[in-house]
């Protein structure tokens, strides 16, 4: 994209997102992906049909999930002739999956496809200790009894049985995403009060959207849940203000808390894309179009801010499409942390940042905050890493369907100092 054919968004579906170790405990990524893809098949009556591609992924996945998308496809009700592509770009996985499918549609390689992702932090891949792993590999290559005994016993200690859990720190900085975002909040002087207010508004908007039925056809019930169990419509600014800092606990200046940061959560989502001709031939309603997308990366090791890459991605996307930041009816900015959203908004308003970092003639400017995440976002709904992208795309398409016309800007930050942005229009 941009390309010769427009890419239609026909809609999407997800399961309720929930806190880890609650409703979905015991369901792995394959189970979550299969369930949500089966829900898409049911919603759009795709039983036995061949799609050009199903692209899905997960961030925290077991080695046995290497063929996740294809295995989920085979159990979804789609034709077994439908190929599956498994990919990963941290929190941008779901959106990148859809971009991959959209590009194939745009250039005429396929006519219809689905993209999305799943993640569970209730079933993380736990590895054996590095020393034990090396020992087992030595045992596997041993050819004689003596070599086997040596591989098993030489230098052995019971400490080797200590398992290794997935790391939460960036290997080049040693900092978690929360710690890095705390640094960003200090750099951009984002207050605790502003972060708590954005979190509070996310819960209120999401609760109101559920109450008016916005999510009725976007969320399929599972295990007794018909809405996200992270959602707290009864929270208040006073309650949020009582929470202690979660990442900077010693300096007395920490502002990120469990309330204004996303919870560890489980879930899955998927969306259906097609060419206009396929939609017409199959009598499918087109909700919106995926116009264009952009990925960017920053040198976070040098101090550019681990989660600031969406600022670059959006600037590049706007320039290519000859649009201003204000040319949108809605803004769907992923709320990994309230501070991340606020840092990005403040960067776009900064003439110095936009000229020195983004190479622009002036600031991108401010957005109308009443158009931001109008039906809630990740702070209220949850953030199963690879599931967020398709949730946002399906949300954007439905918002434009309701409005009848318009344009949505999507922005997602990811680990590794990357960001993904997209434009949806109707």
Q: Which of 214, 126, 226 is nearest to 402 (CA)?
A: 214
Average confidence (pLDDT) over 284-313: 97
Do 392 and 93 touch, CB atoms closer than 8 A? no
Helix (H, G, I), strand (E, B) or coil at 249: coil
Q: What was the pLDDT predicted at 209?
A: 98
State the catalytic residue, choosing from 18, 91, 181, 354. 91
**Which tens digit of pLDDT belongs to each residue from 27-49?**
999 999 999 999 999 999 999 99
Average confidence (pLDDT) over 54-63: 91
Token digits for 199?
């979190």
Q: Model's pTM, two decimal places?
A: 0.93
Exposure b/e, 95-132, CB count within 10 A at least 16 = b: bbbbbbbbbbbbeeebbbbbbbbbbbbbbeeeeeeeeb
Residue 35, number of CB atoms within 10 A of its CB: 20
**Which tens digit of pLDDT belongs to each residue from 123-132?**
777 777 788 7
Given a cut of 90, whether residue 85 has pLDDT beyond it is yes
Average confidence (pLDDT) over 385-395: 98
In this predicted structure, which of 72-76, 150-154, 356-360, 393-397 has the lowest mean pLDDT?
Answer: 150-154
Q: What was the pLDDT predicted at 167?
A: 67
The DSSP result for 133-151, as a single string, is HHHHHHHHH--SHHHHHHH
Exposure b/e, 37-54, CB count within 10 A at least 16 = b: bbbbbebbebeeeebbbb
Q: Measure the CA–CA gap between 57 and 77, rounded to whole angstroms.
A: 19
Q: What was the pLDDT predicted at 165?
A: 66
Map tokens 């800007």 to a residue.
409
The residues, any chain, with a CB within 8 Å of residue 348's CB and separated by 6 or more, are: 311, 314, 325, 354, 363, 364, 365, 366, 367
Do 56 and 88 touch, CB atoms closer than 8 A? no
Average confidence (pLDDT) over 260-268: 95
Q: What was the pLDDT predicted at 387?
A: 98
Average confidence (pLDDT) over 251-269: 95
What is the pLDDT of the chain when averaged over all its residues? 94
Average confidence (pLDDT) over 313-322: 98
Given a cut of 50, whether residue 2 has pLDDT beyond it is no
Q: In what helix (H) or strand (E) does residue 381 lie, and over which residues does it extend?
A: helix 378-381
Token digits for 215?
């999510």
Residue 383 among the catalytic residues: yes
Average confidence (pLDDT) over 134-144: 82
Map tokens 């600037």 to a residue.
315
User: Phi, psi at residue 277, to the nearest 5°?
Assistant: -65, -40
Map tokens 């590049």 to a residue.
316
Q: In what helix (H) or strand (E) does residue 312 lie, and over which residues does it extend?
A: helix 309-320
Q: Measure the CA–CA gap between 325 and 310, rounded to whole angstroms.
A: 13
**Which tens digit of pLDDT belongs to each residue from 193-228?**
999 999 999 999 999 999 999 999 999 999 999 999
Scanning 161-275, the segments in alpha helix (DSSP H) are 177-187, 192-211, 237-241
Long-range Cβ contacts of 343-349 (<8 Å, 24+ apart): 343/181, 343/184, 343/185, 343/187, 343/188, 343/190, 343/305, 343/307, 343/308, 344/308, 344/310, 344/311, 344/411, 344/413, 346/188, 346/190, 347/188, 347/308, 347/311, 348/311, 348/314
Partners of 413 in the beta sheet? 419
Q: What is the pLDDT confidence band of residue 63, given thresholds at 50, 70 and 90?
A: confident
Average confidence (pLDDT) over 314-337: 98
Given a cut of 60, whether residue 3 has pLDDT beyond it is no
The distance in angstroms from the start CA to the end CA of the chain is 16
Q: What is the pLDDT confidence band of residue 157, given thresholds at 50, 70 and 90?
A: confident
CA 46, 50, 53, 58: dihedral to nearest 10 degrees?
Answer: 50
Residue 334 among the catalytic residues: no
Q: What was the pLDDT predicted at 214?
A: 98
Q: What was the pLDDT predicted at 417?
A: 96
Q: What was the pLDDT predicted at 386?
A: 96
Q: Measure the CA–CA gap between 58 and 65, rounded to whole angstroms.
A: 9
State the catalytic residue, choosing from 18, 343, 354, 413. 413
Given a cut of 80, whether residue 81 has pLDDT beyond it is yes
Average confidence (pLDDT) over 148-158: 77
C-alpha distance from residue 80 to each of 50, 69, 382 (Å): 8, 12, 32
Q: What was the pLDDT predicted at 1?
A: 45
| Percent of the chain residues topping a pLDDT of 90 | 85
Residue 18 among the catalytic residues: no
Do 284 and 10 touch, CB atoms closer than 8 A? yes
């Amino acid at each position: 994209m941009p390309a010769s054919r427009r890419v239609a968004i026909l809609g999407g579906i997800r399961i309720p997102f929930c806190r880890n170790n609650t409703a979905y405990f015991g369901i792995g990524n394959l189970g979550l992906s299969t369930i949500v893809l089966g829900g898409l098949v049911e919603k759009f009556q795709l039983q036995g049909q061949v799609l050009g591609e199903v692209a899905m992924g997960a961030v925290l996945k077991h080695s046995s999930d290497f063929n996740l998308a294809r295995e989920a496809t085979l159990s979804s009700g789609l034709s077994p002739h439908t190929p599956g592509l498994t990919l990963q770009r941290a929190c941008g996985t779901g959106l990148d999956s859809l971009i991959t499918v959209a590009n194939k549609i745009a250039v005429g390689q396929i006519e219809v496809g689905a993209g999305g992702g799943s993640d569970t932090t209730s079933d993380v891949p736990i590895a054996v200790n590095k020393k034990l792993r090396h020992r087992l590999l030595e045992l596997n290559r041993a050819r004689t009894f003596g070599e086997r005994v040596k591989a098993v016993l030489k230098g052995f200690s019971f400490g080797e049985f200590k398992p290794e859990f997935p790391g939460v720190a960036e290997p080049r900085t040693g900092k978690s995403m929360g710690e890095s975002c705390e640094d960003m909040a200090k750099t951009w002087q984002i207050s605790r009060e502003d972060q708590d207010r954005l979190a509070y508004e996310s819960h209120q908007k999401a609760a109101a959207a559920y109450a008016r039925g916005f999510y009725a056809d976007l969320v399929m019930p599972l295990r007794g849940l018909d809405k996200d169990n992270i959602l707290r419509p009864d929270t208040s600014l006073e309650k949020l203000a009582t929470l202690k800092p979660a990442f900077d606990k010693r300096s007395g200046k920490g502002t990120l808390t469990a309330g204004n940061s996303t919870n560890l959560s489980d879930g899955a989502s998927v969306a259906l894309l097609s060419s206009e001709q396929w939609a017409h031939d199959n009598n499918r309603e087109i909700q919106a179009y995926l116009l264009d997308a952009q990925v960017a990366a920053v040198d976070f090791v040098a101090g550019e801010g681990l989660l600031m890459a969406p600022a670059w991605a959006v600037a590049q996307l706007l320039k290519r499409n000859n649009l201003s930041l204000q040319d949108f009816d809605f803004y769907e900015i992923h709320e990994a942390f309230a501070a991340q959203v606020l840092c990005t908004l403040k960067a776009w308003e900064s003439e110095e940042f936009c000229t020195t970092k983004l190479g622009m003639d002036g600031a991108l400017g401010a957005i109308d905050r009443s158009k931001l995440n109008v039906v809630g976002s990740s702070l209220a709904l949850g953030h199963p890493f690879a599931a967020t992208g398709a949730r946002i795309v399906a949300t954007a398409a439905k918002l434009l369907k309701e409005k009848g016309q318009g344009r949505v800007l999507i922005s997602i930050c990811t680990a590794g100092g990357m960001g993904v942005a997209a434009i949806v229009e109707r």
